[in-house]
Amino acid sequence: MLYRIAKVLNVRIDDLFDDDNAWESSAPAVSDAVPVVLPPLDTEADAGALKAAHVVCQSVAEQVLALEDLCGAVKMAGIPLYVPFTPTEAGAEHLAARVRQNLGIGNAIVYDYLELFENAGLCVVFMKMPADCETFCAYDHLKRNAFFFINSLLTKQPELQMYRLVFELGRIYWHTRTLYGTVEAQAAVAGEPVLDEAQFACRFATCFLMPAGAVLTSVCQLGLTSNARTWAMLLRLKKRYGVSVQSFVLRLQELKLSCGDILMDSPRRYHRKSVNDPFYVVDSEPGGFRPQLAMNGRLGDLLRQAAQKAGKNQKAVNALKRGLRQNGVKLEG
């Protein structure tokens, strides 16, 4: 039975008996050749589910690296994943602007962040995860690249998936700051509240997905006043940014573009898993106003390229394809 479980997870049987917490500071150091999965944040998953997800994410990351080897693909990110910042709201907004600039989009509205991130060399994988596990991220020290693992079972909440992807990107920058930066030299400005990692990543996601300049332009170009912002108009506007109505309204309130009494919750609240969640999706948002995500498109391209290069000897390619599917990664064909 243990052998069958390990085979499905594509891990060693020994991994199932490892009682150490992989995220404890006392845990054995991971080789620089292996991407490091960062400790999860904002999750209600139990310890068993988190451990299983950690093992699977680590396995998938190694399989993707092996697949890139077969293709001869570039493994390094096309944008810098270390940018100095201060752990404040202003620091998060500045970092979001810098990252958008590095991606070449400035304040432009982007309809497909998955394509944008993958073109920048970042690895995004949609896969089945245990209950209450939404996303994980990993940093590849050797290649200076990042992996993002997103729960594919949340397909009815693409806004949440997109937010969690950018949330985890903010965590990557938080991680590299601790690795390469001098934290003391990046202390916050006196009097400005210092954010923790989860607060910072949430703030980064808000500013990245809804840049102040872009939101102001959208509202001003339409000549919208507070009273003119109907539910139908909010649905159309929020679709441009790939976010939920609630997150868009909170951003409007924050930018002093009040939306009346549609939503009165404070945009400064960072608590998730509640009605105050900035990216909470209301059930009444119609499907036609939800973003469409093309899952695992780059993985499919890599598999096709690897198969073409392999010619008649498809054994290695088929083994990787089988391993990815066993780990819950949905692949075309």
Tokens of 221: 């170009």
Q: Is the pLDDT of residue 186 over 70?
A: no
Mean of pLDDT values over 309-320: 91
Higher-scoring residue by pLDDT: 258, 184: 258
Please say whether the beta carbons of 138 and 144 come within 8 A: no
Q: Is the pLDDT of residue 179 over 70?
A: yes
Closest to 68 in 3D by CA, of 234, 331, 317, 327: 317
Q: How far apart are CA 189 and CA 191, in angstroms?
A: 6
Q: How far apart are CA 62 and CA 138, in angstroms?
A: 11
Q: Is the pLDDT of residue 25 over 80?
A: no
| pLDDT at site 238 | 86
Higher-scoring residue by pLDDT: 333, 48: 48
**SS3 per-residue string spanning 206-232:** HHHHCCHHHHHHHHHHHCCCHHHCCHH
| pLDDT at site 265 | 42
pLDDT digits (tens, 9 = 90+) for 206-253: 999 999 999 998 888 887 766 656 777 888 888 889 888 888 888 888
Residues 6 or more apart whose CB falls under 8 angstroms from that of 81 comprise 139, 144, 145, 146, 172, 173, 176
Could you say which DSSP state residue 189 is in? Answer: P
pLDDT digits (tens, 9 = 90+) for 78-127: 999 999 999 999 999 999 999 999 999 999 988 889 999 999 999 999 99
| pLDDT at site 75 | 86
pLDDT digits (tens, 9 = 90+) for 255-269: 888 655 444 443 433
- CB count within 10 Å of CB 113 equals 20
Mean of pLDDT values over 21-31: 55
Q: How far apart are CA 246 and CA 237, in angstroms?
A: 12
For the chain, give every domain's residue range: 2-10+35-183+192-326
Mean of pLDDT values over 298-312: 92
pLDDT tier at 132, thresholds 50, 70, 90: confident
Q: How many residues comprise the chain?
A: 333
User: What ranges in the chain are assigned the alpha helix state H?
Assistant: 2-9, 13-16, 47-71, 89-102, 113-119, 158-180, 197-209, 212-222, 231-241, 245-254, 297-310, 315-326
